């Protein structure tokens, strides 16, 4: 990355516990939507959270992205794609038959990717037409885990987004890569399949960046990140700095 990009952003001190979000909630396409960032921002990011919905670590991440680039602040929008009924974090990891059954039902129901993928453009059109998103000139998209798959499928031909990022993505499919048409960053954890990610990277035809976090679990940037552990907090900060630098370059 360029020196200018590296110098763009200073991450604020990360709050390890009892984080108080800086943003507010509005309604978009019928969904409660967290929005954070300066009202006069000209760039925005759409967030696809993980299956556990609104979590302090995920909301703090949105606030970091919104406020940490000194040159170009963002409005960040995080709709409640599951409409108040996310997966329960106690279901993960799915290491019992009961957990497997609950996770399976969730992924075939509320979290079936086509349902959310089809809703993304509707959300964007509503944000562009009214409310805090009406003045936005450039859009990016990022997501965690399950949300990473939604970002991948929303970054193909005809996408309204200028750049996309997938954080410890679930369901990495090398077949998705050749169809991606915008600069794309992937931040895998120790739990992602190296072979799948490697083939995905080989198949990418646009500018792409893959940065591994081999010492972190799937979900460390979002709901499963234990920020009271120093090593998790350090990599959480590093990962958000990478996202900021990436969007600084491409939005």
The DSSP symbol for 133 reads G
User: What are the pLDDT digits (tens) for 158-199?
Assistant: 999 999 999 999 999 999 999 999 999 999 999 999 999 999
CA–CA distance, 214 with 184 (Å, rounded to integer): 20
The confidence score (pLDDT) of residue 6 equals 52
User: What are the pLDDT digits (tens) for 69-125?
Assistant: 988 899 999 999 999 999 999 998 899 999 999 999 999 999 999 999 999 999 999
Residue 229 CB contacts under 8 Å (≥ 6 apart), including other chains = none
For the chain, give the number of residues: 251
Whether residue 210 has pLDDT greater than 80: yes
> Mind listing the domains of the chain with CATH numbers?
3-250 (3.40.50.1820)
C-alpha distances in angstroms, 236 versus 71, 128, 189? Answer: 22, 31, 11
User: What are the pLDDT digits (tens) for 135-149?
Assistant: 999 999 999 999 999
Whether residue 10 has pLDDT greater than 90: no
Mean pLDDT (the chain) is 95
CA–CA distance, 59 with 49 (Å, rounded to integer): 9
CA–CA distance, 89 with 26 (Å, rounded to integer): 25
CA–CA distance, 34 with 24 (Å, rounded to integer): 6
C-alpha distances in angstroms, 127 versus 50, 78, 101, 163? Answer: 21, 12, 36, 18
Strand partners, 138: 43
The confidence score (pLDDT) of residue 3 equals 37
Average pLDDT over residues 55-73: 95
Alpha-carbon Rg for the chain, nearest whole angstrom, is 17
The token pair that represents 201 in the structure block: 């990277």
CA–CA distance, 241 with 118 (Å, rounded to integer): 30
CA–CA distance, 90 with 76 (Å, rounded to integer): 28
Instruction: Look up tokens 């954080």; give the residue.
Output: 167
CA–CA distance, 41 with 27 (Å, rounded to integer): 19
């Amino acid at each position: 990355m360029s020196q200018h990009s590296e110098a763009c952003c200073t991450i604020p001190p990360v709050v390890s516990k009892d984080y108080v979000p800086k943003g507010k909630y509005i309604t978009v396409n019928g969904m409660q939507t967290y929005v954070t960032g300066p009202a006069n921002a000209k760039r925005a990011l759409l967030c696809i959270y993980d299956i556990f919905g609104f979590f302090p670590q995920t909301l703090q991440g949105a606030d970091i992205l919104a406020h940490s680039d000194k040159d170009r602040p963002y409005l960040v929008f995080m709709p409640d794609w599951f409409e108040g009924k996310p997966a329960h974090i106690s279901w993960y990891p799915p290491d019992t038959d009961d957990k497997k059954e609950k996770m399976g039902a969730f992924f075939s129901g509320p979290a079936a990717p086509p349902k959310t993928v089809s809703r993304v453009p509707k959300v964007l059109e509503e944000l562009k037409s009214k409310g805090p998103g009406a003045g936005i000139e450039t859009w990016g998209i990022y997501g965690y885990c399950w949300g990473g798959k939604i970002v991948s499928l929303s970054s193909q031909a005809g996408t309204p987004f200028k750049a996309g990022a997938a954080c410890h993505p679930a369901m990495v499919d090398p077949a998705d890569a050749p169809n991606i048409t915008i600069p794309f960053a992937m931040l895998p954890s120790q739990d992602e399949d190296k072979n799948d990610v490697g083939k995905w990277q080989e198949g990418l035809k646009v500018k792409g960046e893959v940065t591994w976090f081999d010492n972190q679990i799937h979900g460390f940037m979002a709901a499963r990140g234990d920020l009271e552990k120093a090593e998790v907090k350090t990599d959480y900060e590093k990962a958000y700095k990478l996202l900021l630098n990436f969007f600084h370059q491409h939005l």
